[in-house]
Amino acid sequence: MKITPNVFLALVAGVALLVPASSFAGLQTLTNKDGKSIQVELMALDGEIIKAKRNGKIIRFPINVLDAEDQGLVREWAKNNVKYSLRIEAKGKMKDSESSKLGNTSSLERVYIYDISVNNWANEPLSDIDVQYRIFTDEGVKKGSHSVSYMDAKATEEIETGTISFLRKKTVTRTGSS
């Protein structure tokens, strides 16, 4: 008898991030090295290129055209506004299997462990990541969590769940033949 557990694995990666609601919200006035200013809504800093919205249009320009003070402002904004890019995968593997028979009821128990990979695809390291998982089975929900204190940019964290048991019972009724 082949058992394929009816399992749905739900993963949530929450990143604790405190961003002050300070001068980084809304429009920013940035000044270049020549003293000319523009108002923009900062969107991203990708390497040395600023992505911003001005008058409803997206613009890109090198950070080094700004004066030193505004370069610092943009870099500080980028540190506090990291764009998260996580990929989460899970794969179950059978650890053990045991069958038993009592009267006309047979049971088969399989024990699984799930390997969860959390990939940080962002260009910045992450900290204080709480990975919570829920495994939905025919017998109910199995819950667990794992904390990651620090994760480098482009790094992967491997997490192994505790054991998850799946028990199947089958009752065979035998009738006498005449």
Report pLDDT digits (tens) over 63-96.
999 999 999 999 999 888 877 788 889 888 888 8
**What average pLDDT does this structure show over 148-168?**
86
Q: Are residues 89 and 167 in the same domain?
A: yes
Is residue 22 one of the residues assigned to a domain? no
Reported pTM = 0.51
Per-residue pLDDT, averaged over 5-34, amounts to: 58
Mean pLDDT along residues 11-25:
42
Q: Is residue 23 part of a domain?
A: no
Task: Examine residue 21 and state whether it is found in any structural domain, yes or no.
Answer: no
118, 164, 128, 129: which is closest to 143 by C-alpha?
A: 164
Tens digits of per-residue pLDDT, 123-141? 778 888 888 888 887 777 8
Tell me, yes or no, whether 166 and 96 share the same domain.
yes
Least Cα distance to 124 among 158, 80, 61 occurs for: 80
Residue 101 domain boundaries: 8-15+85-171
Check residue 155 and give its pLDDT. 93
pLDDT at 1 exceeding the cut of 60 = no
In single-letter form, the type of residue at position 116 comes to: I
For residue 162, the domain's CATH number is: 2.60.40
| Same domain membership, residue 62 and residue 91 | no
What percent of the chain clears pLDDT 90, i.e. is strictly above it?
30
